[in-house]
A and B are shown apart, each in its own frame.
Chain A
């Protein structure tokens, strides 16, 4: 079956530091890949996505590149802010539109940014 593995943290960084959160996946075929963010007390929001190999998703200064050869979708940001403190989830979907096609999530990475 499908699975997603990501570093769980917490990851603590100083403001303006460089961020990398690793995500690797196991899936058949060509899944779509997502990063969701959950701010304290809120639901999940889509941060970025990529639907095919070598695609780069980007949003709010965050980037992730779909690497099929390494089955990875690492999240990066060049300079984090305190407001980026949240839990980040890597997820995949088979993208067929049919069947269950639910999201398979990693366990989430708690990111803490200190001023």
Chain B
């Protein structure tokens, strides 16, 4: 089954304790992305990756890191989490194609993070 998986689904942590949220896709997609969802703000892009070893900042990258060492995995790293990073996080992936319309993104189930 084609899917994007995230782990953990729920996480409660304390300020300053480094954490990693994993994301994996089995569709051989080149493009992967992280979003955060906050009430009244919708979804905002944190980081994206066009391919292995190619990453770039989205709209709200502060306080986050990513890496893309393998095509299928795109972990999100919070080196020193703070309470304002409490949010619902989604990983997404798609093919990198030049044709319009071939840009549907597939989303993971989400990770609900609480930073105390």
Contact = CB atoms under 8 A, between A and B. Distances in A.
Q: Do A and B come from one complex?
A: yes
Interface of A: 8, 30, 32, 34, 36, 42-46, 49, 51-52, 89, 93, 95-98, 100-103, 105-108
Nearest to B59: A102
B110 to A, nearest CB: 5
Closest 4 CB pairs of A and B: A51-B101, A107-B42, A95-B100, A97-B98
Given A43-B110, A97-B96, A49 B104 contact: yes
B91 to A, nearest CB: 9
7 contacts: A42-B110, A46-B104, A46-B106, A97-B98, A100-B45, A102-B48, A105-B44
Interface of B: 4, 31, 33, 35, 40-45, 48, 56, 58, 90, 92, 96-110
Which interface residue of A36, A89, A98, A103 has the most chain B CB atoms within 10 A?
A103
A105 B43 contact: yes
Given A102-B45, A103-B45, A107-B41, A95 B110 contact: no
A44 B92 CA distance: 9
A42, A43, A107, most chain B CB atoms within 10 A: A43
A32 B90 CA distance: 21
Contacts of B107: 36, 43-45
A40 to B, nearest CB: 11
Nearest to B90: A43
Nearest to B4: A43
Nearest to B9: A41
B37 to A, nearest CB: 8
Contact of B58 (A43, A96, A102): A102
Contact of A97 (B35, B102, B104): B102
Contacts of B35: 105
Given A42-B110, A107-B42, 11 more contacts: A8-B40, A42-B109, A43-B107, A44-B43, A44-B107, A95-B101, A97-B97, A98-B98, A100-B45, A101-B103, A102-B45
